[in-house]
Amino acid sequence: MNALVIGGGGREHALSWKLARSSRIGRVYCAPGNAGMRGIECIDYGPFERLADFAESHDVGLVMVGPEAPLCEGIVDAFRDRGLTIFGPDRKAAQLEGSKTFAKDFMIRHGIPTAAFAEFTDAESAIDYARAEGAPIVIKADGLAAGKGVIVATTLEAAVAAIQHCFAGVFGEAGSRVVVEECLEGEEVSILAFVDHHCIKPLAASQDHKRIGEGDSGPNTGGMGAYSPAPVVDDAMWAVIVESVLDPFLSGCRADGLDYRGIIYAGLMITDSVPKVLEFNVRFGDPETQPILVRMTSDLAEAVLATVDNRLSEYEFTWLDDAAVCVTLASAGYPRSYEKGKVITGIEEAEAMGAEIFHAGTLRQGDGLVTAGGRVLGVTATGKSIAAAVDKTYAAVNKIHWDGVYFRRDIAHRATQL
């Protein structure tokens, strides 16, 4: 059978790369894909009906969706109505990411630990609540905001400004409802797990670096790097996460009648050895997917098919003992305004060092590549330890250049300081 991946970023490049290595898969298509996807046939992204037509006419037996927006818009429902095999939650279940309020209510209803919060539909009430709670405090646009709708306000002035920006339409309709949330402190970790109607199985733990600046400073981004495994999730912590987060999540889906056959990504904060859910995402994380899939030795297509068929309990994931680190190379100015069209050099030299280069925002121009987005490349490498993987990754990163390239130099700093 053939496979179709929906999306065009680094996460989708990694998913396509992994599926292409499956003995079950013939050709891999990606809509729209990107300029770095060698061996993957990129097709136009279009309406769900047209994509489903393509899947039917090209022997596509497996569809994976990278971004959250198509999931929240109901692509799974549309494809399943056509009898096509697609991995992911349906539109109702995808509200776990599409609405912070929906997710928070789900967590409270099913006893999943999370930060204290309140939800608002007007700025005045939200500001009054923030003033009563004090700073630091977290302001979240309720809907999808491309990973940028969460503001950690360290002062009341910043909190008031963030609330006003949301209701002023900075995030569009996503900001018409706002969640104001307790600011948790501790160690953040990403837990991704496959879920079907009967079973939930976690993947290797990872840690993302969302802030633009070193030392986890500055505004949130889509992700500046990630590594796996995350040492903070030892055997004892895994047991707590399974008992307090993953098992209640599965029970909650059953109780609420959610058709969840896909992956759940729980962003957790470990506070005093207690994991609390910051957010649920209903798709693979980016850039966590890159180091996780590089470490995965089992067949991704087999895992996906088992999940869609509600046979996940029969499947076992296997992993490299080695660690993996991904560093995001971004355009100067990201996550705010940035220039495009900068000539990229050094990718071949980085690959020759053993790194996997996953493209996110690149465009082919003549015989070369130029930048075409905020996050441009994800450089991923493995090593016998996290420190060794860091060294190998940054050695490859240093081979790549364009005018204004920016990257953090401290990815995995928490793990290497242990």
Does the N-terminal peptide bond of residue 136 adopt cis geometry, omega within 30 degrees of 0? Answer: yes
Confidence of residue 170 (pLDDT cuts 50, 70, 90): confident
3-state secondary structure the chain: CEEEEEECCHHHHHHHHHHCCCCCCCCEEEEECCCCCCCCEECCCCCHHHHHHHHHHCCEEEEEECCHHHHHCCHHHHHHHCCCCEECCCCCCCHHHHCHHHHHHHHHHCCCCECCEEEECCHHHHHHHHHHHCCCEEEEECCCCCCCCEEEECCHHHHHHHHHHHHCCCCHHHHCCEEEEECCCCEEEEEEEEECCCCEEECCCEEECCEEECCCEEEECCCCEEEECCCCCCHHHHHHHHHHHHHHHHHHHHHHCCCCCEEEEEEEEEECCEEEEEEEECCCCCCCHHHHHHHECCCHHHHHHHHHCCCHHHCCCCECCCEEEEEEEEECCCCCCCCCCCEEECHHHHHHCCCEEEECCEEEECCEEEECCCEEEEEEEEECCHHHHHHHHHHHHCCCECCCEECCCCCCHHHHCC
At 418 the pLDDT is 60
In the predicted structure, residue 257 carries a pLDDT above the cut 80? yes
Answer yes or no: do 303 and 330 share one domain: no
Answer yes or no: do 215 and 257 share one domain: yes
pLDDT tens digits, one per residue of 205-219: 999 999 999 999 998
At 344 the pLDDT is 98
Identify which of 108, 391, 398, 156 has the alpha carbon closest to the alpha carbon of residue 252. Answer: 108
3-state secondary structure 223-290: CCEEEECCCCCCHHHHHHHHHHHHHHHHHHHHHHCCCCCEEEEEEEEEECCEEEEEEEECCCCCCCHH
Answer yes or no: do 291 and 340 share one domain: no
pLDDT tens digits, one per residue of 231-253: 999 999 999 999 999 999 999 99
At 190 the pLDDT is 96
Evaluate whether residue 221 is within a structural domain. Answer: yes
Work out the percent of the chain whose per-residue pLDDT is above 90.
94
Whether 94 contacts 71, CB under 8 Å? yes
Evaluate whether residue 134 is within a structural domain. Answer: yes
**Region 187-214 average pLDDT:** 96
Question: The domain spanning residue 298 has which CATH number?
Answer: 3.30.470.20
Answer yes or no: do 332 and 247 share one domain: no
Label residues 53-81 b or e (16+ Cβ within 10 Å = b).
Answer: ebbeeeebbbbbbbbbbbbbeebbbbbbe
Confidence of residue 417 (pLDDT cuts 50, 70, 90): confident
Task: Return the ∠ at Cα 34 (arms to 221 and 65), rounded to 5°.
Answer: 70
**Region 50-61 average pLDDT:** 98
At 174 the pLDDT is 87
Answer yes or no: do 178 and 200 share one domain: no
- Rounded CA-CA distance 253/247 in Å is 10
Q: How many CB atoms lie within 10 A of CB 9?
A: 23
Evaluate whether residue 93 is within a structural domain. Answer: no
Question: Tokens 């240093």 correspond to what residue?
Answer: 398
Whether 80 contacts 86, CB under 8 Å? yes
In the predicted structure, residue 416 carries a pLDDT above the cut 90? no
Answer yes or no: do 238 and 301 share one domain: yes
Query: What pairs with residue 383 in β-bridges?
Result: 323
Q: What is the mean pLDDT of the chain?
A: 96
Answer yes or no: do 294 and 344 share one domain: no
Evaluate whether residue 69 is within a structural domain. Answer: yes
pLDDT tens digits, one per residue of 303-357: 999 999 999 999 999 999 999 999 999 999 999 999 999 999 999 999 999 999 9
**Region 60-86 average pLDDT:** 98
- Rounded CA-CA distance 272/267 in Å is 16
**Region 359-370 average pLDDT:** 95
Answer yes or no: do 83 and 131 share one domain: no
Question: The domain spanning residue 53 has which CATH number?
Answer: 3.40.50.20
pTM (predicted TM-score): 0.95
Answer yes or no: do 205 and 304 share one domain: yes
Among candidate residues 149, 182, 215, the one where a domain is terminated: 182
At 93 the pLDDT is 98
At 273 the pLDDT is 87
> Phi and psi dihedrals of 34, rounded to 5?
-150, 180
Among candidate residues 289, 314, 339, the one where a domain is terminated: 314
Identify which of 412, 368, 44 has the alpha carbon closest to the alpha carbon of residue 208. Answer: 412
**Region 262-266 average pLDDT:** 98
Work out the percent of the chain whose per-residue pLDDT is above 70.
100
Evaluate whether residue 95 is within a structural domain. Answer: no
Print the domain residue range for 305: 187-314
Task: Return the ∠ at Cα 40 (arms to 379 and 300), rounded to 5°.
Answer: 70
**Region 79-108 average pLDDT:** 97
> Phi and psi dihedrals of 232, rounded to 5?
-65, -20
CA-to-CA dists, residue 324 to 170, 197, 211, 235, angstroms? 36, 31, 20, 19
- Rounded CA-CA distance 275/270 in Å is 4
Among candidate residues 294, 314, 334, the one where a domain is terminated: 314
Evaluate whether residue 385 is within a structural domain. Answer: yes
The total of structural domains in the chain comes to: 4
At 391 the pLDDT is 98
Answer yes or no: do 336 and 410 share one domain: yes
Identify which of 34, 36, 43 has the alpha carbon closest to the alpha carbon of residue 63. Answer: 43
- Token pair belonging to 255: 């109780």
pLDDT tens digits, one per residue of 24-50: 999 999 999 999 999 999 999 999 999
Which one has a higher pLDDT value, 103 or 418? 103
Evaluate whether residue 404 is within a structural domain. Answer: yes
Answer yes or no: do 153 and 175 share one domain: yes
Question: The domain spanning residue 349 has which CATH number?
Answer: 3.90.600.10
Question: The domain spanning residue 160 has which CATH number?
Answer: 3.30.1490.20
Answer yes or no: do 341 and 368 share one domain: yes
Evaluate whether residue 27 is within a structural domain. Answer: yes
At 206 the pLDDT is 97
